[in-house]
A and B are shown apart, each in its own frame.
Chain A
Amino acid sequence: MSDTGTSEKIPFMQRVLDNPFLLLFLGVTVPATLYLVWGLVELTQIPVAE
């Protein structure tokens, strides 16, 4: 809330959400590993027909 005193400690999650570059990092690395890299690794393991 905007009326939070400045001296008060800002909660952890709020600090995360207030940091756009952390969000950018997460939003790129999470799908890059779980979707792209994992998927590509599986594709490279398909045996090639002779």
Chain B
Amino acid sequence: MATAAGEIGVIGGIAAKFRTCPVTALKIDLAAERLIKANAVAAVVFLAIGGVLGLLVALTRWPAVHLLDSDTFYMVLTAHGLNVLLFWIIFFEMAILYFASAVLLNCRLAAPQFAWIAFVLMVAGALLTDFTVLQGDSSVMFTSYVPLRASPNFYLGLILFAVGALIGCMVFFGTLVVAREERTYEGSVPLVTFGAIAAAVIAVFTIASGAIILIPTWLWSLGYIGHIDTLMYKLVWWGMGHSSQQINVSAHVAVWYAIAAILLGAKPLSEKVSRTAFLFYILFLQLASAHHLLVEPGLSSEWKVFNTSYALYLAVLGSLIHGMTVPGAIEAAQRRNGYVHGMFEWLRRAPWGNPAFSGMFLSLVMFGFIGGISGVVLGTEQLNIMMHNTLYVPGHFHGTVVAGTTLAFMALTYLVLPLIFRREVMWPGLAKWQPWLFGIGAGGISLFMLGAGTLGVARRHWDITFADAILSFDYPATAFLMLGLNGIFAILATVGGALYVAITVASVLFGRPVHERNALHALGPLPQRVVESGSSAQVGRHGSEGFGHLPGTYTLVAVFFVAFALYYFVNWKYLSELWPLS
């Protein structure tokens, strides 16, 4: 590009090529930029695959459609979980790590060649596992609980993928060191980078747990190890399986802050408070892995309650803090931008026509109301028993990882396209609707799976009519209705997802190039009275806004708490009816 690209910074004896971002004034290492692009593209490819598989699953669980035969259903369900939960999300997170380290710290990426090795390992691993699953003899679900045995290459692929991701995390930590040594920033790192540090820390624990369990399981599948204890497998596996979800939470919260900063110039209300909330994630979020073992015999209630109730509530406190400070930061910035009337002018006049903003805000609301509240219910030992292994569980995590994380990452993409790929977003009219279609679809599948689960419908179950079973069971008609509605909203989510993939691919390939002149315009609609141009540079800065006059945010938070308390209470009531004590 004709702008400042090609500036060569020789720091610490190592030459790196930089360009200067016309919007954020950040210095962008071109090697980091290429890696961000590669990882983002891989992510979108796996989302496209995984999303189609999700639709097939939902259409099979819709009793009136019942699309796939049972063997194919379990194969497709296995592949769905792997492609979206691991491959889409983690590739995108690698892009975020490189962005939050090299780009936000104005620094060169440490050892880009290692980052490329990481990328190649991850691609190879993902493809190996996918092809193995498609052979049809590894339909063990992405949890692969022993003694279910997949083909050895199923585990080998996952191990390669994890090794790649670990190398990526090391490049991230290495870049932090380089930035500090070469003094590319002053004081503390920006909050978005701090959120990425939380994500990377959790990723290291996640991958270590994965290695501890998957390597022996691989050897077991090859016949070198005779026996793996099922409970031990579950315990260590969930150290990976659950913690990996917490990488997502940390990453998407960082993304919320980043989008608010870039679009609105929002500053965190308090660096101290937001960082402490991330610290709660680092310390406690991973312990909540125990909620997957709440009904296992052999583990004491002390262990269960300490790790879920106690630790989980501290981690939830972290999320509650972010849930307040993100809208709070937006409100403060918008009031600064001049939207001061009444309680909600700041929100009404926010750039809703910008898919990055609408996606981010929908993600925030649905993550809190759907994913968050249902998560606390599931994480309570006593209540868990009502929903354990029902569709309530996928209902919960489609609220967190689809309506929350996936939507947040989609929203960020609308900024990554102009800022990193330097392409205008194609079809802005359609792009405006994309987060709504996907968000409402994802919110719908979450709610209807929660509903079906509350009625006891099992997860991972091919046929709830039990047509060919010896013992049958009649679910209430409402359960069938829920699964039908789930199917309809699955179609909506798929349309939204397909639109996202199409817009992204088309913009990368055919989008109009972004130069200095059209850079701000390429970000999409911004608040009309945005104060200073250049306020997007906030994303790379450090500093607090302060808890000023934020009536709108406090009202939203109050609504959330009322909903939370009511729903929690209703579930205890429901429990008392399922298990009368008199």
Name A's B-contacting residues (CB within 8 A): 1-2, 4, 13-14, 17-18, 20-21, 23-24, 26-28, 30-32, 34-36, 38-40, 42-43, 46
CA distance A24 to B290 in the complex (A): 21
What are the interface flags for B242-262 relative to A under an 8 Å C-beta threshold, 1 for contact and 0 otherwise? 010000000000000000000
CA distance A30 to B311 in the complex (A): 11
A-B contact pairs, 14 of them (CB 8 A): A1-B543, A1-B544, A14-B188, A17-B194, A23-B198, A23-B201, A31-B205, A32-B205, A35-B287, A35-B307, A38-B303, A42-B298, A43-B298, A46-B231
**Residue B66 CB within 8 A of the other chain:** no
The chain B residue with its CB closest to the CB of A21 is B173
CA distance A24 to B197 in the complex (A): 9
B543 and A27 contacting across the interface, CB-CB below 8 Å: no
Tell me which of B187, B197, B243 contacts A23 (CB under 8 A): B197
| Interface stretch (choices B232-240, B384-392, B562-570) | B232-240
A43 and B232 contacting across the interface, CB-CB below 8 Å: yes
The chain B residue with its CB closest to the CB of A39 is B235
CA distance A36 to B187 in the complex (A): 36
**Contact A31-B287, Cβ < 8 Å, known A23-B197, A24-B201:** yes
The chain A residue with its CB closest to the CB of B205 is A28
B275 and A31 contacting across the interface, CB-CB below 8 Å: no
Q: Across the interface, which residues of B come within 8 angstroms of A30, CB to CB? A: 283-284, 286-287
Q: Across the interface, which residues of B come within 8 angstroms of A35, CB to CB? A: 239, 286-287, 289-290, 307
**Residue B204 CB within 8 A of the other chain:** yes
**Residue B300 CB within 8 A of the other chain:** yes
Apart from A27-B205, A43-B231: 5 A-B pairs, beta carbons within 8 A: A24-B173, A27-B286, A39-B235, A39-B290, A43-B235
How extensive is the interface on chain B, given as a class? 35 or more
Tell me which of B176, B286, B542, B543 contacts A31 (CB under 8 A): B286
CB A4 to nearest CB in B, in angstroms, measures: 7
A42 and B303 contacting across the interface, CB-CB below 8 Å: yes
CB A41 to nearest CB in B, in angstroms, measures: 9
The chain A residue with its CB closest to the CB of B173 is A20
B204 and A24 contacting across the interface, CB-CB below 8 Å: yes
CA distance A18 to B282 in the complex (A): 14
Which 9 pairs of residues, A with B, have the shortest CB-CB distance? A27-B201, A31-B286, A27-B282, A46-B298, A39-B235, A28-B205, A24-B201, A35-B287, A17-B275
Tell me which of A17, A36, A46 contacts B236 (CB under 8 A): A36
CA distance A1 to B267 in the complex (A): 12
Q: Across the interface, which residues of B come within 8 angstroms of A14, CB to CB? A: 188, 272
B187 and A4 contacting across the interface, CB-CB below 8 Å: yes
CA distance A18 to B194 in the complex (A): 9
**Contact A28-B303, Cβ < 8 Å, known A35-B287, A36-B236, A40-B235:** no
CA distance A17 to B287 in the complex (A): 20
CB B556 to nearest CB in A, in angstroms, measures: 27
B187 and A31 contacting across the interface, CB-CB below 8 Å: no
CA distance A36 to B212 in the complex (A): 11
Q: Across the interface, which residues of A come within 8 angstroms of B287, CB to CB? A: 30-31, 34-35
**Residue B299 CB within 8 A of the other chain:** yes
Tell me which of B186, B272, B300 contacts A42 (CB under 8 A): B300
Q: Across the interface, which residues of B come within 8 angstroms of A36, CB to CB? A: 209, 235-236, 239
A20 and B176 contacting across the interface, CB-CB below 8 Å: yes
CA distance A1 to B202 in the complex (A): 26
B232 and A40 contacting across the interface, CB-CB below 8 Å: yes
Q: Across the interface, which residues of A come within 8 angstroms of B307, CB to CB? A: 34-35, 39
Q: Across the interface, which residues of A come within 8 angstroms of B510, CB to CB? A: none
CB A29 to nearest CB in B, in angstroms, measures: 9
**Contact A39-B299, Cβ < 8 Å, known A2-B542, A23-B282, A34-B287:** yes
**Contact A27-B283, Cβ < 8 Å, known A1-B542, A34-B307, A35-B289:** yes
Q: Restricting to B277-335, which residues have a CB under 8 Å from any CB of A?
A: 279, 282-284, 286-287, 289-290, 293, 298-300, 303, 306-307, 311
Q: Across the interface, which residues of A come within 8 angstroms of B204, CB to CB? A: 24, 27-28
Q: Across the interface, which residues of A come within 8 angstroms of B200, CB to CB? A: 24
B236 and A34 contacting across the interface, CB-CB below 8 Å: no
**Residue B134 CB within 8 A of the other chain:** no
Kindly name the residue among B201, B229, B298 whose own CB sees the greatest number of chain A CB atoms within 10 A. Answer: B201
The chain A residue with its CB closest to the CB of B202 is A27
CA distance A46 to B189 in the complex (A): 47
Tell me which of A2, A24, A43 contacts B299 (CB under 8 A): A43
CA distance A35 to B200 in the complex (A): 19
**Contact A31-B239, Cβ < 8 Å, known A1-B544, A18-B188, A24-B204:** yes
**Residue B499 CB within 8 A of the other chain:** no
Kindly name the residue among A13, A31, A46 whose own CB sees the greatest number of chain B CB atoms within 10 A. Answer: A31
Kindly name the residue among B173, B209, B282, B306 whose own CB sees the greatest number of chain A CB atoms within 10 A. Answer: B282
**Residue B541 CB within 8 A of the other chain:** yes
**Residue B519 CB within 8 A of the other chain:** no
Q: Across the interface, which residues of A come within 8 angstroms of B279, CB to CB? A: 17, 23
